[in-house]
Amino acid sequence: MSLNKLIIDTLKPIGVPVAFQTYSGTATTYITFFEYNQFSALNADDEEQQTAHFIQVDVWSKGDYTAIVQQVKDLMTAAGFRRTFETELYEPDTKIFHKVLRFSYVEEREE
């Protein structure tokens, strides 16, 4: 399973560009994401049975992103992610509003 593909497919219905790590397009509202931690969540018989992934999703916008942020939370939760952190920032150099959302996801390891 590709976690990146799962996230992109999950957020695609929002209708704004979604990119892994960086976005280089021209849209003024977009979403980026990356994995900031991963570890073994469950081991049995000396083998990893579940892997925990911690993902940061960033919403960037020159305007009000409230509806987009709610869509991100709803879609990610529906896809099996659990929200663990949320904060708002403002990037004064680019004059962009920045919402940081962090999620955890536990993946069952395939045999």
Residue extents of the structural domains in the chain: 3-108
CATH architecture, range 3-108? 2-Layer Sandwich (3.30)
What pLDDT score does 43 carry?
Answer: 64
Q: Classify residue 31 by burial, with Cβ atoms within 10 Å: 0-12, 13-18, 19+.
A: buried
Confidence band of 1 (pLDDT split at 50, 70, 90): low
DSSP code of 13? G
Report how far residue 29's alpha carbon sits from residue 25's, in angstroms, rounded to the nearest whole number: 10
Worst-scoring range by mean pLDDT, 22-36, 42-56, 95-109?
A: 42-56
Contact by Cβ (8 Å): 82, 104: yes
Q: Considering the chain, what is the average pLDDT of its residues?
A: 91
pTM for the complete prediction? 0.89
